[in-house]
Amino acid sequence: MTAHVLPPVEEPRRFEGVGKQALETGRNRLLVTAAVITLAFVGIGARLVDLTMIGGTEADDHAELITQPPALVSRADIVDRNGVVLASSLPTASLYADPKNVIDPKDAAEKIAGLFPDVDPKKLTRNLERGGRFVWVKRNLSPEQQLNANRLGLPGFAFIAEERRIYPHGALNAHVLGATDIDGKGIAGVEGYFDQRLRQSSNPLALSIDVRVQSILHTELSAAVHEFKAIGAAGVVYDVQTGETVAMVSLPDFDPNDRSTYNGDARFNRATLGVYEMGSTFKLFTAAMALDSGTIDLKGGYDATKPIRIARFTISDYHARNRWLTVPEIIVHSSNIGAAKMALDVGGVGQQAYLRKFGLLRDAALELPEIGHPITPSPWRDINTMTISYGHGIAVSPVQLTAAIGSLVNGGILRPATLLKHMPDTPVGGERILSKETSDKMRMLMRLVVAKGTGRKADAKGYYVGGKTGTAEKEFNGRYKKKALISSFVGAFPIQNPRYVVFAMIDEPTGNKRTFNYATGGWVAAPVISRVVAQIGPLLGVAPLNTNEEPLTLPAIDDERLKLSKSAPNMNLVKKASVSNGVVRPVKTLRQPPSLPTNAPSVPRRKAEPPPGSLENETPDERIARKTREALEQAFAAQ
């Protein structure tokens, strides 16, 4: 038998030792790797604790600004009363740089400036070399600009998502909407007044403005400024039933889409911030307070035969009639003499009380930051009472005047002007300041001015406008500047049932051949009202009357009144002034005018005597301007 030789016992034991050694080596490597990973996580964790709980360095804060830009907050839209968007926000990209990662600041700045001409390469280079972690390069890029900047491929430059405020109608609503700064914060107009509301709510802000009416008013005022070479203009359309401001324009204006235009005179809101002496439009308030207080009635009147002389100062009439005038004739012929005497009968205290009721002695409560403060005399003397009666010696804003006129025609209710849309289910606020009977009389007087007086050019076919012209010299450094006029007209339509008041003011117009070189309110501003009313009436749902008959029964004036009167005026109705021939007397001591002979005309006509020192070669326009200026100079000197 063949014997089998068994392997040596030591061979398996040798292989078993090699395996154990390899296993031990692998285990050690895993332990080392795990230790390294653990240390890495411990380091990262320590850094996170340092950043979140302890705080980092200034450079770390800048780095965080780049990697974690502020959250984008959308600003609510602004819409007109019909839902037309007036202001909205669009997403845009803005270019910034992290100077730490910019390799060649000078080269990068030159490339950026080549793409954006308004970027100063030297200034950008200095900002990049100054250090830090964040530098604005260009804000609010268009998609094309963003694409071109991205194509440069410059290290250290990136984009941040932002919003840009846009105004689809450009300059049309400039002084209503105002503007925002580059960071989207409201700085003027509705944008400034309602800044928090627009930031915190996503619901659109609905204004009372009708962009269609706004466009018409803007167009007509711009045409007047161009034709009469004026330095500016203002206009308002006001709803007398709700107090809503349907349109408001101030010229010159600016384009809120282009911040470079938001400067100088273009920023000034003539409709709300500017305060002006409104001239003869104030005679409407004088008549209203006299009628409402029972001082006089429509059949009463005043002697306007001669100018009022106080020491060396004179108050005279531009369209002098040189006779006794009824209240309607005082308004139609715009008699300064009659208005002054009427105001003296009401008294300075009474005048102030009514003007305060009209809202003309306090700031307008309109939703804008740009609100002007009325200028009033202090103390309030008799000379102030007289000059204020025809709109001199007191300055108010166009929006104040418009709302006050609204109270004359809407039944006697003062409704403060607002820029917010009135919701149908919301009660309309207001305060009664005149009786309905007084309001009815004022509508007749205002219609009389347009039908037979200085406001004929304001009439619009079918809409029967009623209103009043106003012309006043502007004051510079305490003196009135000749031929620097504020020419205006304020009107209501339809006068038989007024719904809207329209105001137009032209600042320093120059007369032309068409106006026979006149630059007064009747020639310059009244035609603007006519054109505006004719266009906005149909848009606002006001149906014209297709008739040639007057909708109101108008008082008889001038020859018509004289024909109806078979005897001299009833002297019980004649209010003699407390100022005559330069002597101030109490009203109770006034003497009655002499009785008229039976065969004499009922109203004697005499040529007014020229004041001492008058110039023989003066035109009537120059004479009345000088006399009015002299009276006002005394008013300011007495303050």
Q: Which residues are catalytic?
A: 280
DSSP bridge partners of 136: 96
Distance in angstroms (rounded) separating the CA atoms of residues 416 and 124: 51
The packing angle between helices 121-129 and 105-115, to 10°, is 140
What does the longest C-alpha to C-alpha distance in the chain come to?
Answer: 187
- Are the C-beta atoms of 625 and 473 separated by less than 8 Å? yes
Distance in angstroms (rounded) separating the CA atoms of residues 293 and 413: 16
Q: Is the peptide bond before 69 cis (omega within 30 degrees of 0)?
A: no
Classified as helix, coil or strand, 548 is coil
Choose among 191, 633, 183, 149: nearest CA to 392: 633
Taking 3-state DSSP, the helix, strand and coil percentages for the chain, each rounded to the nearest 5, stand at: 40, 20, 40
Q: Fill in the DSSP letter of residue 170.
A: G
Supply angle C-alpha 513, 468, 267, rounded to 5.
75
Q: How many CA atoms lie within 13 A of 398 on its CB side?
A: 32
- DSSP per-residue string spanning 183-209: TS-EEEHHHHHTHHHHHH--S-EEBS-
Distance in angstroms (rounded) separating the CA atoms of residues 306 and 323: 8
Neighbours of 339 (CB within 10 A): 31
Distance in angstroms (rounded) separating the CA atoms of residues 236 and 242: 15
Distance in angstroms (rounded) separating the CA atoms of residues 580 and 378: 24
- Are the C-beta atoms of 325 and 343 separated by less than 8 Å? no
Distance in angstroms (rounded) separating the CA atoms of residues 325 and 496: 25
- Are the C-beta atoms of 70 and 64 separated by less than 8 Å? no
Strand pairing category for 135-141 and 157-166: unpaired
- Are the C-beta atoms of 277 and 395 separated by less than 8 Å? yes
Neighbours of 116 (CB within 10 A): 17
Classified as helix, coil or strand, 627 is helix
DSSP bridge partners of 28: none
Neighbours of 626 (CB within 10 A): 19
